[in-house]
Every structure is written in C-alpha cells, then in structure tokens.
C-alpha cells in the first residue's frame, strides 16, 4: 500500500515504522522535521507539505495531539484527496469532530475511519496496540491487514465516532485509576507498609489492574520520563467529560479525577508524565515511595 503518515512523534513514529517494515511505501510529514529522520533512514519519503503527501497516498493516516490539530490537518489533506482514497484518524479525538470530518470526506468520495489506539509508546514500538475503529465495516475489513502491523488487538466498534467513544471511556478509567494508585501507594507507605510489599499484595488481590502493575512499578523504580504528559491526560479526560455532557450522562467519579489532573497541570506538572504527580502527594504526606523498588 501507498501510505501517507502525518504526525510521527512518540506514538506515530513507531507506528509508521511498523507500516514501513511490513513492506509498504510510506510517505511522512511532521512539522518537527527531526521527528521524521529515523523513518527517512529506514526508507520512508519525507514530504515537504501535506499536499504532496495526500495526493500521492492511497491511505492517509493522522496521529496528532488533539481535535484542533486533527480538524485543521484533515481539512488541508482533504483538499488534495480524491475519490477512492482513504483518510484514517488514529488520534484521540472528539466523536463529534471525527463525524464532521467524515462528512467532509464523504462529499469527495474519500473513505474515512476513526481508529484511536491504546498501549502507549511501548505498544506502538512492538506493534501490539489496541486499535478501536469506527466507520464502514467493509472499509475496515479492507484495511485490517494494515491495522494488524500496528496492533495486536483490533476492534471494529461501530459507526464513525464509536472508536473514539471507546477510547475516551478507556482513558478516563485509566487516568482516574492512576490517580487512585498513586494515593494508595503514598497512604500505605505513610501508614508504615513497605510500598514494595503493598505493590505485590495488590497485584495478587482484587485491587489489581494494568495501571497498578505497570504504573506502580514505574513509580517505585522512579522511572517517570514524560511518556504521557499531564497536558495530554487533561485533554483526554476533558474530552470524556464533554462527551458525557453531550449524551446526558451525569458522571461523579471522573470529574473528580479531571479536577485533580487540572490542579497538577496548573501547579507545574503540565509537561511531566501523569505518574510523576506522585511527587506532589509524597511532599504533602512527608513520605517517599519513588526509588524504593527492591524486587
């Protein structure tokens, strides 16, 4: 396939690399030119503008920070696309925004799917992402082999927008649990329990989750490089609470996590990893759990 990939950052870069490694012809574009260097070395073609990428690709994939960026880039890309091409948004986006993009694509005869992903940078590198796809089932079926080189867990969720509904529900759960996990580690340590012992207890008990195992391990090892920033977490959980208001669902737990994340964002954690917020909890409690890993 001739694939154009727009947005080759922490997630998009490894995803595009896997598409390239599978034998596809890949064109790439990113406003940060250094983000495409590794892909160019591996054989991808860097495009100087969206016009040349979109007009020379069968499938155009977007992996961008959020709704404003996707809306603007999709509009520009569609100007150069024609009937028979396909646009796939793999960003975490607003269901309402992707539905509007799908309508614009339809007027040009361009296929459209929303296909957000979960699994982090590690999953992107290993090609083991979960990919949640909304849109025409026959179009999804035709692109399933392409999704398969990026992900190990593929789901056709429903109509356009359904992929992002699933992604927002997943992320709002993940971030609320992450906040709870950090508080639990700090509380246990402050009350006299070795955080390593507590981590092992919970991971074999009813409180366990992927975020407890992976996130707890990262906190205890103090390996908190900004893989998923508080800024991005605030964006995603905000999209989830916006969706709840749109469909008339009254949430109670999730807005609390959203307020906590926004407080961290305003207090200097905006560009730090969401798990790094444990540092504020440690300071307030007068106890340290980071760097205590002894497994």
Residues near 134 by beta carbon (within 8 Å), at least 6 away in sequence:
98, 113, 114, 115, 157, 158, 159, 160, 161, 162, 163, 164, 165
| 30 phi/psi in degrees, rounded to 5 | -150, 140
Domain at 2-159: CATH code: 3.40.50.720
The answer to whether the pTM exceeds 0.85 is: yes
Strand spans (E) along the chain: 2-6, 25-29, 45-46, 59-62, 86-89, 111-114, 117-118, 129-134, 151-158
pLDDT number for residue 34: 95
Mean pLDDT, range 232-259, rounded to an integer: 97
| Predicted local confidence at residue 264, as pLDDT | 98
CA 83 to chain centre: 29
pLDDT band at 295 (very low <50, low <70, confident <90, very high): confident
Q: Find the mean pLDDT for residues 110-136.
A: 97
* Residue intervals in the chain for CATH 1.10.1040.10: 165-285
| CATH 3.40.50.720 domain locations along the chain | 2-159
Active site residues: 167
Query: To the nearest whole percent, how much of the chain has pLDDT over 90?
Result: 99
8-state DSSP, 273:
B
Dump pLDDT digits (tens) for 196-228: 999 999 999 999 999 999 999 999 999 999 989
Among 196, 228, 202, smallest CA distance to 294 is for 196
Question: What integer best gives the mean pLDDT of the chain?
Answer: 97
**Alpha carbons 80 and 62: distance in angstroms, whole number:** 15
**What fold does the segment set 165-285 form as a domain?**
1.10.1040
- Residues 36, 39, 45, 50, CA torsion sign: negative
- Whether residue 111 contacts residue 139, with contact meaning beta carbons closer than 8 Å, is answered with yes
**Cα–Cα distances in angstroms (integers) from residue 95 to residues 116, 163, 245, in the given order:** 11, 8, 13
165 to each of 15, 116, 119, 132, how far by Cα in Å? Answer: 22, 10, 16, 9
CB 44 within 8 A of CB 26: yes
What is the average pLDDT across 107-132? 97
Of 125, 75, 63, nearest in space to 105 by CA: 75
DSSP 8-state symbol, 223: -
Q: What is the pLDDT of residue 27?
A: 98
State how far the Cα of 234 lies from the Cα of 249, in Å rounded to an integer.
Answer: 19
What pLDDT is recorded for position 211? 95
């Amino acid at each position: 396939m001739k694939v154009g990939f727009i947005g080759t950052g922490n997630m998009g870069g490894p995803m595009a690399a896997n598409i390239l490694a599978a034998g596809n012809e890949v064109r790439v574009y990113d406003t940060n030119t250094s983000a495409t260097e590794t892909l160019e070395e591996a054989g991808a073609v860097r495009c100087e503008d969206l016009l040349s990428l979109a007009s020379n690709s069968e499938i155009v994939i977007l992996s961008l920070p959020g709704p404003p960026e996707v809306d603007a880039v999709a509009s520009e890309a569609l100007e150069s696309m024609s009937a028979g091409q396909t646009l796939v948004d793999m960003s975490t986006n607003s269901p309402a925004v992707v539905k509007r993009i799908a309508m614009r694509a339809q007027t040009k005869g361009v296929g459209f799917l929303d296909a957000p992903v979960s699994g982090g940078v590690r999953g992107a590198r290993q090609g083991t992402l979960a990919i949640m796809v909304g849109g025409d089932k026959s179009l999804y079926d035709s692109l399933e082999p392409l999704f398969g080189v990026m992900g190990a867990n593929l789901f056709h969720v429903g109509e356009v927008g359904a992929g992002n509904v699933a992604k927002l529900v997943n992320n709002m759960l993940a971030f609320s649990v992450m906040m709870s996990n950090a508080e639990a580690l700090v509380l246990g340590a402050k009350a006299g329990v070795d955080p390593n012992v507590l981590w092992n207890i919970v991971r074999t008990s009813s409180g366990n989750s992927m975020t407890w195992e992976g996130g707890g391990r990262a906190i205890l090892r103090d390996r908190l490089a900004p893989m998923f920033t508080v800024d991005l977490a605030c964006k995603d959980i905000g999209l989830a609470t916006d969706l709840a208001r749109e469909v008339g669902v009254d949430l109670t737990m999730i807005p609390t996590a959203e307020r906590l994340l926004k407080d961290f964002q305003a207090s200097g954690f905006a560009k730090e990893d969401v798990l790094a917020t444990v540092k504020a909890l440690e300071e307030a409690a007068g106890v340290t759990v980071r760097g205590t890993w002894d497994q």
